[in-house]
Structure 1
Amino acid sequence: MFFKTVFCAICLLASSWPATAQTRAPFKLLEALRFIGGPDLKAFGFEHLTIVDPHVLGPDVPDAGQVQKALARPRSNEYLNIDIESWPLEGPDQASSIAKYQKTLSAFRQADPNVKLGLYSVLPIRDHWRAIGHQGADALDDWKQQNTKVASSLIPYVDALFPSLYTFYADEGAWVAYARANIGEARRISQGKPVYCFLWPQFHKTLAFLPGDLWYTQLDTCKKLADGIVIWGTIGSNAPFRRAKWDETAEWWQATLRFLREQGKIPRLN
């Protein structure tokens, strides 16, 4: 009941947000999957998104050698996604973090003017409870103000926005509200640049794979509101880390096939 109430409230808050993608480009299918086994997703219309993180870039602003190392990684399209999650964008270190992102993005742009850049889960700052109005109007407004401040400094440096919409809770209505809020905020600050949503077919904390209906709702919601998706993953265990094994019968994958058929990416079954 609580999440249904929150969902209804956020529908009102989000009534001014766009209901469909804003660009005329085809809906983009990207993946960053590292299963043990599995099909070649290019056959299903996916392009691989190359992601670089501190394992490649180091813990601080990367030097020229680290940038070149990142740019040398194979890419199947023009995009390079930078995933740095240790530079806080709220609080006393905000200005320092913004400056680090600017220097990092500038270094990539200088090294390769043709590369298209994006930041994982930065524009907007990923949020669940404030975004869906659970913490009140003041908290929602504060989140938006922080996004405006960060965007004014970073949007000129990126070519697309990559909000993170990973699943923290099993309630479908709550996830839709959270997605609408974060995609709507991405649209608001995007200055017309495309929005590609990161999705992960596992629950964030338990690593259990999502049920098919919930995963299909996530794909369908992003199709209606965003310009594309990035399917990321995935993890068999964290301690120790190991990759998950591919399961052709998994509900999330069967829901993905249904979604792809509806988009004309694979033939429909008779």
Structure 2
Amino acid sequence: MMHRRDLLAGLAALPASQLLTGLLPDAGVAQAAATPLKKNFVFWECMRWQKGPASLASCGLRRMPIYYEASLITNGEADFKKIDKVIAEIKAKKLPMVTLDVELWNPASIPQREKYIRLIEYVRARVPSSTKLSLYGIMPRPRYHDYVAGGTRLKQRQHENRIAAPLAAKCDWIMPMFHTYQPNRVHWAKFAKVIIAEARQYNKPVMPWLWPQYHERTSPASLRRKFLPGDFFREQLETAYHLGDSLCIWGTRIDVPGTTVKRATWNPKAPWWAQTKAFLRSKNAPVCKL
């Protein structure tokens, strides 16, 4: 069980209104830090930085290969000339794991779900069977407020998630988004529990993707792209470890007035990174000197 001082510290961080309503994190999430070490649990990263390290492998984080829409899609449709180039790169690099990030289509729409299926089947038929293929973040759909609200809103999302089941059957991993939309930690814990439960119904291994910043579009304007408090991100890492079969850390972006979005500058002393190193070390990762 969670140590008493950790539980008290977590309660102290909660707004009084939440304490009064008794809305506390699920016991399974509260005990995440005490989860026994898991065999074959792989820690991945998919981050880009200004002036960042070339690799985080020495800290226990493998690099996740990802291919975004621009390298797969043209004018809203699969571009098989582009996809053939991606396939050639996968084969040349002998990649063991590949993530395809196409968020343009709706997996709850049967015609659009079929576009996803055609895409992943095309790649699957042309890369080695040892290469694991997955689609980022679309199953289950990351509808934070509906998952937290529950009731009929949750039921509607559950219905949509089940429509995606034929697509999930084509993937080797399910990769739900563990993004942060609000500073309310109790609500985030509920969201995490629900989205993992939804991911589990596909009967595939589950890899949550974490982002150490508040969501760039749907968070309160004052928080967008700001880095999470270190202890909050540690809670998320522990939750992903407790509930998932692997995890991946994604990032980063910042707003620069008058310019397009840019990557954040690497800060080895950032609280989120200090907590990430401590988390990895607690899971028997190498001592990280970055």
Q: Is the 8 A contact 1:31 1:48 kept in 2?
A: yes
In structure 2, which of residues 205, 220, 229 is the aligned counterpart of residue 194 of structure 1? 205
1:130 and 2:123 aligned:
no
* Structure 1 segment 137-216 matched on structure 2, within 5 A: 137-151=151-165, 153-187=166-200, 189-191=201-203, 193-205=204-216, 206-216=224-234
In 2, the alpha carbon distance for the partners of 1:116 and 1:6 equals 42
TM-score (norm 1): 0.85
Further displaced range: 114-123 or 54-63: 54-63
In 1, the alpha carbon distance for the partners of 2:206 and 2:18 equals 26
Change in CA separation of 1:125 and 1:32 when aligned onto 2, cut-off 3 Å: same
TM-score (norm 2): 0.79
Further displaced range: 30-39 or 245-254: 30-39
Kindly provide the CA deviation profile for residues 74-94 of structure 1, in whole angstroms up to 9, marking residues without a partner as x. Answer: 66841111111111234xxx1
List alignment gaps of at least 5 residues for structure 1.
none
Larger RCO (CA within 8 A; separation ≥ 6):
1
Change in CA separation of 1:6 and 1:163 when aligned onto 2, cut-off 3 Å: farther
Change in CA separation of 1:199 and 1:88 when aligned onto 2, cut-off 3 Å: same
Aligned partner of 2:283 in structure 1 is: 263
Percent of residue pairs bearing the same amino acid type: 28
Q: Is the 8 A contact 1:31 1:46 kept in 2?
A: yes
1:95 and 2:93 aligned:
no
In 1, the alpha carbon distance for the partners of 2:115 and 2:178 equals 24
Change in CA separation of 1:214 and 1:166 when aligned onto 2, cut-off 3 Å: same
Q: How much is the aligned-residue C-alpha RMSD, in angstroms?
A: 2.8
Q: Is the 8 A contact 2:214 2:227 kept in 1?
A: yes
How much has 1:190 moved relative to structure 2? 2.4
Q: Is the 8 A contact 2:277 2:288 kept in 1?
A: no
Q: Is the 8 A contact 1:47 1:77 kept in 2?
A: no
Aligned partner of 1:50 in structure 2 is: 65
How much has 1:97 moved relative to structure 2? 1.1
How much has 1:139 moved relative to structure 2? 1.8
How much has 1:11 moved relative to structure 2? 4.1
1:110 and 2:128 aligned:
no
- Secondary structure in 2 aligned to 1:254? helix
Q: Is the 8 A contact 2:59 2:288 kept in 1?
A: no
